């Protein structure tokens, strides 16, 4: 339960702080392109940090790395309180990205070393997202939102200090080596393409919902649907053919993103959010399990999923801001569906269907 609690609290804190960033940025004077840049800065810093610390988790003491990452993240969440213009918000989000990147690989290696189910562990992250979305919509006050995120990560740091030591294989790592990326390029590339499209959507999605008549409370409720559904789906993915699961995840993503186009009111968004939950559950659990089974440097391979997500966030945030600024919200949704379909086509010929994992 300690690992699940850390996963829940850190995921909740991340989403409490993240969900309303586009709205906060707009309120302090940022236009859509600047909103994209602010989100991109966070993603770029998280990409660099998670890349380096994923490799470090294969060579360092994972408990010390986990505790340090959580402690620094708690400070970074709190510092967002003092951001009162687009530049200050961008800098605060960048520092937060660096700190958050320190601990995910160490946390996943605790789970792997303890022989726990990746799917069930991941489901508590989804539950944390749901709680974070709901709390952010309920609180509304931006300063309180950032403080709440900091408090949850402090609780996670305290819990992590009480974790038992887990024996995992330590290996010598080359921090500048791209061997793991090259060996798993099909998984990383397709994941990046899909998540680039997804991030392009999420960076403008609160504004899209507002244009359909939603207020901050309903934005929180709609965002909750996705992770709540993930919680139940992820827990039932053990023992599946992970390669097929990933391919289906990309097809469902295509349908999900395109389903957001017809609605004239925010209530009609709900079915698409359920499809998003199905697709992300398949993709995240399936890709992580494939990487853990394929590679000796397991912390690096699995941790690089966070790096891929972060890099996708950089590109996707810029695309979402620019495309929506010049062509509108619908163009962003079409872009996301198209990138997901390209990912499906790549994996249809690259990942063999016999790559199954017992979860």
**What are 229-248's pLDDT values in tens digits?**
988 898 888 777 888 889 99
* Higher pLDDT among residues 217 and 239, named by residue: 217
* Higher pLDDT among residues 82 and 138, named by residue: 82
Instruction: Assess contact for 223 and 19: CB atoms under 8 A.
Output: yes
Give residue 350's pLDDT band: very low, low, confident or very high (50, 70, 90). low
Task: Please tell me the predicted confidence (pLDDT) of residue 111.
Answer: 83
Instruction: With a cut of 60, say whether residue 358 has pLDDT above it.
Output: no
Task: Please tell me the predicted confidence (pLDDT) of residue 355.
Answer: 41
Instruction: Assess contact for 128 and 10: CB atoms under 8 A.
Output: yes
Task: Please tell me the predicted confidence (pLDDT) of residue 336.
Answer: 95
How far from each other are the two terminal CA atoms of the chain, in whole angstroms? Answer: 18
Instruction: With a cut of 50, say whether residue 357 has pLDDT above it.
Output: no
Give residue 132's pLDDT band: very low, low, confident or very high (50, 70, 90). confident
Instruction: With a cut of 60, say whether residue 83 has pLDDT above it.
Output: yes
**What are 313-324's pLDDT values in tens digits?**
788 878 888 898
Domains and CATH numbers, the chain: 2-165+179-350 (1.20.1250.20)
**What are 206-215's pLDDT values in tens digits?**
888 888 888 8
Lowest mean pLDDT among 164-168, 272-276, 342-346: 164-168
Per-position b or e across 123-145, b if 16+ CB within 10 A of its CB: bbbbbbbbbbbbbbbebeebeeb
Among 59, 42, 134, which residue's Cα sits nearest to residue 95? 42
Instruction: Assess contact for 160 and 60: CB atoms under 8 A.
Output: no
Q: Which residues contact 269 (CB under 8 A, 6 or more apart)?
A: 209, 212, 222, 260, 263
Give residue 154's pLDDT band: very low, low, confident or very high (50, 70, 90). very high
pTM, to two decimals: 0.77
Instruction: With a cut of 60, say whether residue 353 has pLDDT above it.
Output: no
Q: How far is residue 190's CA from residue 211's CA, in Å, rounded to a whole number?
A: 31
Give residue 352's pLDDT band: very low, low, confident or very high (50, 70, 90). very low
State percent of the chain over pLDDT 90. 33
Task: Indicate the average pLDDT of the chain.
Answer: 85
Q: Which residues contact 259 (CB under 8 A, 6 or more apart)?
A: 271, 272, 275
Give residue 356's pLDDT band: very low, low, confident or very high (50, 70, 90). very low
């Amino acid at each position: 339960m300690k690992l699940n609690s850390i996963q829940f609290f850190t995921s909740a804190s991340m989403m409490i702080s993240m969900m309303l960033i586009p709205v906060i940025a707009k309120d302090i004077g940022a236009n859509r392109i600047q909103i994209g840049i602010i989100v991109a800065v966070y993603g770029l810093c998280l990409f660099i940090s998670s890349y380096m610390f994923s490799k470090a988790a294969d060579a360092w003491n994972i408990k010390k790395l986990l505790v340090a990452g959580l402690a620094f993240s708690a400070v970074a969440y709190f510092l967002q309180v003092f951001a009162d213009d687009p530049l200050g918000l961008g800098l605060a989000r960048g520092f937060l990205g660096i700190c958050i990147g320190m601990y995910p690989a160490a946390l996943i290696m605790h789970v792997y070393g303890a022989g726990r189910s990746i799917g069930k562990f991941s489901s508590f992250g989804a539950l944390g997202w749901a709680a974070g979305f709901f709390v952010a919509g309920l609180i509304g006050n931006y300063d309180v939102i950032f403080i709440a995120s900091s408090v949850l990560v402090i609780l996670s740091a305290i819990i992590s200090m009480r974790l038992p030591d887990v024996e995992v294989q330590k290996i010598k790592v080359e921090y500048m080596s791209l061997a793991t990326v090259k060996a798993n390029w099909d998984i990383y590339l397709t994941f990046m393409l899909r998540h680039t499209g997804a991030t392009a959507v999420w960076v403008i999605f609160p504004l899209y919902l507002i244009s359909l008549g939603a207020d901050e409370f309903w934005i929180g409720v709609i965002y909750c649907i996705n992770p709540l559904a993930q919680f139940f789906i992820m827990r039932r993915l053990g023992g599946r053919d992970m390669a097929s699961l990933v391919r289906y995840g990309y097809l469902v993503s295509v349908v999900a993103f395109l389903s957001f186009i017809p609605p004239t009111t925010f209530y009609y968004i709900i079915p698409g959010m359920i499809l998003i939950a199905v697709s992300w559950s398949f993709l995240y659990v399936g890709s992580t399990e494939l990487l853990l089974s394929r590679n000796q440097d397991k912390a690096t391979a699995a941790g690089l999923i966070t790096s891929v997500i972060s890099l996708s966030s950089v590109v996707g945030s810029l695309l979402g801001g620019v495309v929506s600024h010049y062509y509108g919200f619908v163009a962003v949704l079409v872009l996301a569906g198209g990138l997901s379909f390209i990912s499906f086509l790549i994996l249809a010929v690259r990942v063999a269907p016999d790559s199954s994992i017992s979860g």
